[in-house]
Amino acid sequence: NKEAHAAVSCGNTGALMAISMIRLRKLPGVYRPAIAILWPSSNNLGFNFMLDVGADIRADAPDLLKYALMGASYARNGFGLVRPRIGLLNVGTEEHKGRLELKEANDLITESVENGEYDYVGFVEGNDIPSDRVDVIVTDGFTGNIALKTGEGTASMIGAAMRESFKATLLSKLCAVFAIVPLKRFSKRIDPRRKNGGVFLGLNGTVVKSHGAADATGITAAINLAVQLAEMNFNEKLAARVASTAIESDVSKKQ
């Protein structure tokens, strides 16, 4: 009803996506919307972008191409990354590896680079997700969600193991006192709560999905993300980009 610039929810992902699609509708040219998240990385921004992480477990080659376009727009118009580097998540970087839809998507994304305002680095693997080799990682929702939950669990395990280690002996406790500042800096860098918020891309409006178990820190991060995107008129820019892509596709088909 245009009563809010953005919506933030900690509710069920499937239910939120369903009601968002009913109320907001999909952008013209988008068959499957995607959920994009921020993933802590060694890039200058401190994070990479990854989509889809659970909006739809399936994605064919045209869907993956659309994810690449929307992910690039998210990085560029939401965070000021002038020319994002796109990578397609696969089991190897060689072109002969992967499922058929990945090989087809690889060709489609390669062909779209000239007019896409982004660079394409080709296939990337799981160890590239937090690296500085790529800015936007494109995958289907099934693979992306597993990667996301694996990353969250690993980060929590590392944090718990470090706390346990520093409490083990009197000497380790003393070392922790002297290391408190860099430890806090490290904790903030890998803390998934501070990157909380999955943005629904491909809808006529901005919707941010917060983790269901998020605490005040996580919910604050999701709200701040929604405010940032609203202030930058991100969804209007995304809609314009998707529309221009649809026009380019129609022209190429006629030719």
pLDDT of residue 249: 53
Domain 6-247, CATH: 3.40.718.10
C-alpha to C-alpha distance for 214 and 222, rounded to whole angstroms? 10
> Of the given ranges (33-42, 164-173, 178-187), which has the lowest mean pLDDT?
178-187
Tokens of 102: 């990945």
Given a cut of 90, is residue 225 above it in pLDDT?
yes
Q: Give the count of alpha carbons within 13 A of 89, CB side only.
A: 27
C-alpha to C-alpha distance for 186 and 190, rounded to whole angstroms? 7
Backbone angles phi, psi at 49, to 5 degrees: -110, 140
Average pLDDT of the chain? 88
The pLDDT confidence band at residue 247, using thresholds 50, 70 and 90, is very low
For 83-126, the pLDDT digits (tens) are 999 999 999 888 888 899 999 999 999 998 877 789 999 999 99
Mean pLDDT of 127-147: 94
With a pLDDT cut of 90, the percent of the chain lying above it is 54
Beta carbons within 8 Å of 70's beta carbon, 6+ residues apart: 30, 34, 36, 51, 201, 202, 238, 241, 242
Given a cut of 80, is residue 169 above it in pLDDT?
yes
pLDDT of residue 67: 95
For 11-32, the pLDDT digits (tens) are 999 999 999 999 999 998 898 9
